[in-house]
Chain A
């Protein structure tokens, strides 16, 4: 099928093509070193005093390290509540790491300037991230005006209209308010807003979860095209493993705040090493081979407030042995992938 995500030519959709100096994938753009994020979820101090309840610390992200290469897609997959959004918020600077360091490296742009990449996030919840009192046109125009990406107001309006069409909406939608749009249409408005910033690094937290598969294909094809043409880098979070397989160069599987397996995406998909990764790949609902008797993964979902001792996956792992209940496996390098399992 013909790829017409947009009726525009690409130079209308995106201004001055950025020439990437080095081949994509050669240089590191983001370096995350031993990042941790903990939340204090104790009851208020006074009531703790009377009830003698201990402090409760929720370990949302524990000791996560990885690098992302420019012009590639790094995906993070894992159970709901395992810490993906928290990690994403640390990357864009919305959440301070309790420990560890996250740093962006300077990049060389088309005009020869060298500087830190511009980073932008597409939020998981399209409702919360759009200001209900602003017209859609102003929501999208704001970063363009703020960053002075266009010289005059006519060019700003032109750009806003182009972006709306790029995400499958119409130019006239600019004058309406967010509440007049469906869930998927709102998600596309927040994608258009993120694209408006002409960012170098996009953090996408469930960017297509509210879209039907055809519009989803349009958006994903667009993202891949922008990456090829402008060297965009994506940190991609999704529960949809088919989408992840399509998009990713590198993939990390997260469980209870930690990476349990990480490496080249195709390898993780075709030769999963960690028992959790294997279970995850087995549970995907499939239209071609529906399993109407599917059972959820057995065992209690563990809590990041009180994680199990040893390997945090042990209460649900079929291969768990005594050692797993006392000793936490390190994330070890095995060929191209890193795995944390005593028996991998």
Chain B
């Protein structure tokens, strides 16, 4: 599946997020634009701290002060949602947008049994009886691979392992059958087998229910096997976006190329892993021009003065001297 001419389910345009600090505002997201079509999985990768979670947080309307949306628009199925009143946004969340947070503890109440948390969420959003809700909760726990779900449903979060808690959070996000899922690192704590179970489940939701998914993960293998398109973020911007095979096989932006080269291989053992030298700039020290220029082997004087734009096309990179001319769709 690719982004077709059909109306995107989620459309983000020129999103800007700033944090108001003591020393003035810090720009954390700077002009982020992308679409996700119904039934499509958009992968999001990029440097730690680049703004992936912030993007997801803004879409579900949970950005907290001192952070705020300083520009741009977010549309869900054609309806603008970034300026909705809090109450309306709260109803949208859970029902139409399901969120799997990077931090499982933000979604789970430590003193409530996991089953009760699922049942309450289901009852809030779906017109079903308590017994039906419990049945659905049990089915979901089985679907995300919790063994002995009948017993486990009455346990507390601390009695679960890290990966099991993560799967409960996934079940919570899916329980009201949302049309958009923001999945922030949903499989980091999971072994490869359970991971395959979760990605198979996500793909099935896309195929059968036309669910759109924004999948944030550092695992390039998961991206390669699950996503349709992938967006690469660096220092608050999308630096490359395109179909997953093209971006992973023929990266066009130097940062993406460095990222791909850092993946340790499972087939051979290396003495030393490749890494991109240096560190991503802090928000208060983002260099002018291309933000990647201090770490880029291809940087020229031009890059230090001119901020590269990101064309809206099939496979695009925000770079003045891309590694390969991005194939335009």
Which residues of A are interface residues toward B (Cβ below 8 A)?
A: 1-5, 39, 41, 43, 56, 77-81, 85, 124-125, 127-128, 168-170, 172-173, 180-185, 188, 206, 209-218, 220-221, 224, 239-243, 245-246, 266, 269, 279-281, 283-288, 290-292, 294-297, 300-306
Pick 22 A–B contacts, CB within 8 A, sort by A.
Answer: A41-B151, A77-B191, A79-B191, A80-B163, A183-B102, A185-B49, A206-B162, A206-B188, A206-B189, A213-B218, A214-B276, A217-B262, A269-B269, A281-B266, A284-B192, A287-B221, A287-B224, A288-B265, A291-B225, A296-B145, A296-B193, A305-B151
B126 at interface (Cβ–Cβ under 8 A)? no
CB-CB under 8 A from B188, the residues of chain A are 206, 209-210, 239
Q: Is A302 in contact with B147, judged by CB distance below 8 angstroms?
A: yes
**In the complex, A218→B226 CA distance in Å?**
26
Q: Is B218 in contact with A210, judged by CB distance below 8 angstroms?
A: yes
Q: Is A218 in contact with B49, judged by CB distance below 8 angstroms?
A: no
Q: Residue on A with the closest CB to B194?
A: A80
Q: Taking each of B148, B260, B274, which has the highest tally of chain A beta carbons within 10 Å of its own beta carbon? A: B148
B272 at interface (Cβ–Cβ under 8 A)? yes
Q: Is A213 in contact with B269, judged by CB distance below 8 angstroms?
A: no
B129 at interface (Cβ–Cβ under 8 A)? no
**In the complex, A4→B294 CA distance in Å?**
14
Q: Is B48 in contact with A210, judged by CB distance below 8 angstroms?
A: yes
Q: Is B105 in contact with A80, judged by CB distance below 8 angstroms?
A: no
Q: Residue on B with the closest CB to A279?
A: B193
Q: Is B220 in contact with A297, judged by CB distance below 8 angstroms?
A: no
B247: min CB distance to chain A, Å: 11
A203: min CB distance to chain B, Å: 14
Q: Taking each of A243, A269, A297, A300, which has the highest tally of chain B beta carbons within 10 Å of its own beta carbon? A: A297
CB-CB under 8 A from B270, the residues of chain A are 246
Q: Which of B8-45 contact A (CB under 8 A)?
A: 19, 45
CB-CB under 8 A from A213, the residues of chain B are 218, 220, 259, 262-264
CB-CB under 8 A from A127, the residues of chain B are 103, 105-106
- A306/B148 contact (C-beta < 8 A), A214-B258, A285-B219 known: yes
B77 at interface (Cβ–Cβ under 8 A)? no
Q: Is A80 in contact with B164, judged by CB distance below 8 angstroms?
A: yes
B230: min CB distance to chain A, Å: 11
Q: Taking each of B151, B192, B264, which has the highest tally of chain A beta carbons within 10 Å of its own beta carbon? A: B192
CB-CB under 8 A from B280, the residues of chain A are 168
Q: Is A241 in contact with B105, judged by CB distance below 8 angstroms?
A: no
CB-CB under 8 A from B277, the residues of chain A are 1-2, 4
A316: min CB distance to chain B, Å: 9
CB-CB under 8 A from A41, the residues of chain B are 151, 155, 159
Q: Residue on B with the closest CB to A224?
A: B272
Q: How large is the interface on B (under 10, 10 to 19, 20 to 34, 35 or more residues)?
A: 35 or more
Q: Mark B265-299, 1 if CB is under 8 A from A, else 0.
A: 11001101111111110100000000000000000
Which stretch from B92-100, B131-139, B195-203, B315-323 is at the chain A interface?
Answer: B195-203
Q: Is B248 in contact with A243, judged by CB distance below 8 angstroms?
A: no
B185 at interface (Cβ–Cβ under 8 A)? yes
CB-CB under 8 A from B146, the residues of chain A are 301
**In the complex, A140→B53 CA distance in Å?**
25
A141: min CB distance to chain B, Å: 20
8 Å CB contact of A80 from B191, B269, B273, B276:
B191
Q: Is A294 in contact with B53, judged by CB distance below 8 angstroms?
A: no
| Given A245-B264, A246-B270, 19 extra CB contacts under 8 A | A80-B162, A80-B164, A128-B105, A173-B282, A184-B49, A212-B218, A213-B263, A215-B275, A216-B262, A217-B274, A242-B264, A245-B269, A246-B264, A281-B266, A285-B221, A287-B221, A296-B194, A296-B196, A301-B146
Q: Residue on A with the closest CB to B148?
A: A303
B263: min CB distance to chain A, Å: 5
B47 at interface (Cβ–Cβ under 8 A)? yes
- A280/B193 contact (C-beta < 8 A), A80-B161, A285-B222 known: yes
8 Å CB contact of A182 from B53, B164, B167, B224:
B53
**In the complex, A284→B191 CA distance in Å?**
9
**In the complex, A315→B265 CA distance in Å?**
31
**In the complex, A189→B269 CA distance in Å?**
28
Q: Is A296 in contact with B200, judged by CB distance below 8 angstroms?
A: yes
8 Å CB contact of B164 from A81, A221, A243, A300:
A81
CB-CB under 8 A from A269, the residues of chain B are 269
Q: Is B192 in contact with A221, judged by CB distance below 8 angstroms?
A: no
**In the complex, A312→B319 CA distance in Å?**
54
Q: Residue on B with the closest CB to A173?
A: B282
CB-CB under 8 A from A217, the residues of chain B are 262, 264, 273-275
Q: Mark B44-67, 1 if CB is under 8 A from A, else 0.
A: 011111001100000000000000
B190 at interface (Cβ–Cβ under 8 A)? yes
A104: min CB distance to chain B, Å: 25
**In the complex, A212→B225 CA distance in Å?**
17
The 9 A-B residue pairs with the shortest CB-CB distance, nearest first, are: A184-B48, A80-B163, A285-B221, A303-B148, A296-B197, A290-B224, A217-B275, A217-B273, A303-B147
B248: min CB distance to chain A, Å: 6
**In the complex, A239→B193 CA distance in Å?**
10
Q: Residue on A with the closest CB to B216?
A: A183
- A209/B47 contact (C-beta < 8 A), A4-B278, A266-B269, A290-B221 known: no
**In the complex, A2→B270 CA distance in Å?**
15
Q: Is B275 in contact with A182, judged by CB distance below 8 angstroms?
A: no
**In the complex, A168→B47 CA distance in Å?**
11
Q: Is B192 in contact with A185, judged by CB distance below 8 angstroms?
A: no
Q: Residue on A with the closest CB to B103?
A: A127
**In the complex, A215→B295 CA distance in Å?**
13
Q: Mark B219-244, 1 if CB is under 8 A from A, else 0.
A: 11111111000000000000000000
- A220/B192 contact (C-beta < 8 A), A80-B163, A286-B221 known: no
A283: min CB distance to chain B, Å: 4
